[in-house]
Amino acid sequence: MRKWFYKKKVKNMKKYINPTNELWTELIQRPTLKAQDLSDTVKQVFDEVKRNGDKAVEKYTHFFDKVDLVSFKVTAEEISLASDLVSENLKKAIQLAANNIKKFHTSQALVSSKIETTEGVTCWQEARAIEKVGLYIPGGTAPLFSTVLMLGIPAKIAGCKQIVLCTPPNEEGNIANEILFAAQLVGVTDIYKIGGIQAIAALTYGTESIPKVYKIFGPGNQYVTAAKQEAFQQGIA
């Protein structure tokens, strides 16, 4: 019987003022899992997603995120509505950040020049975009729309044809408005309301509704990190 580890989201945050040294040490400790237990959990989720596709993703989204979804993919209507709900000041700030990030990464574009080393032999350096990439954006109380910009913009500049974004939904089955606004701003092609191990597994194998990608970018907790390591073992760098 496999062991499952699930930490329920805490709604009422405790506050500590001037904690003692002993309490401070306890407060800054990060939750950890035994490597073997974590590996077993990841392998089981990957195995089920590989065999059962969307059905397995739905199962683990319910188990880990406590939400049942009618559809994983975010619709154009949802993106439009979310954009309308983002304040104009924040939109301007996101746009400014996007412009700066774009300038920086555009300057990194490879300028290739051909050199004829000997008569009839020409050499040059060439960079080609990865056709399909996955972006993982963590969920939580603070929407990481900055991560959307820092991953999505380079992918777009590089020329990736399909940019697939996965991020966990909240308890209502929605994604933060700011993340959706940033995603459409930078040209993400597909957005899915899934997170954790099941999201990485879906991007690794592909399911009925979620496309397989060739490389996965983005930060995450120890579950996501272990899942990305498993994806690497399956040939997804």
- Per-residue pLDDT of 144-178, as tens digits, reads 999 999 999 999 999 999 999 999 999 999 999 99
Q: Rounded to whole angstroms, how far apart are CA atoms 175 and 73? A: 11
pTM: 0.83
Within-domain flag for 12: no
Per-residue tokens: 214: 């060739």
**71: nearest Cα among 161, 148, 175, 142:** 175
The pLDDT of residue 34: 72
The pLDDT of residue 32: 62
Average pLDDT, rounded, for the chain: 91
Within-domain flag for 82: yes
Within-domain flag for 2: no
Within-domain flag for 132: yes
| Count of domains for the chain | 1
Within-domain flag for 87: yes
> For the CA atoms of the chain, what is the radius of gyration?
21
The pLDDT of residue 15: 83
Least confident piece of the model among 29-38, 99-108, 114-123:
29-38
Q: Is the confidence at residue 185, as pLDDT, over 50?
A: yes
Q: Rounded to whole angstroms, how far apart are CA atoms 86 and 88? A: 7
Half-sphere exposure of 203 (CA within 13 A, CB side): 35
196-211 pLDDT tens trace: 999 999 999 999 999 9
62-77 pLDDT tens trace: 999 999 998 999 999 9
The pLDDT of residue 11: 58
Within-domain flag for 112: no
Per-residue tokens: 179: 């993340």
Q: Which domain range does residue 93 map to?
A: 34-106+128-237
Residue whose structure tokens are 């059905």 = 55
Q: Rounded to whole angstroms, how far apart are CA atoms 122 and 14? A: 66
Per-residue tokens: 106: 């555009």
Within-domain flag for 215: yes
Are 199 and 165 within 8 A, CB to CB?
no
Query: Over pLDDT 90: what percentage of the chain?
Result: 77
116-137 pLDDT tens trace: 999 999 999 888 999 999 999 9
Within-domain flag for 22: no
Helices (H), strands (E): how many in the chain? 9, 6
Q: Rounded to whole angstroms, how far apart are CA atoms 136 and 168? A: 9
32-42 pLDDT tens trace: 667 788 899 99
Cβ count within 10 A of residue 148: 28
Residues in a beta bridge with 121: 118
The pLDDT of residue 10: 52
Measure CA 155 to chain center.
13
| CATH number of the domain within which 65 lies | 3.40.50.1980
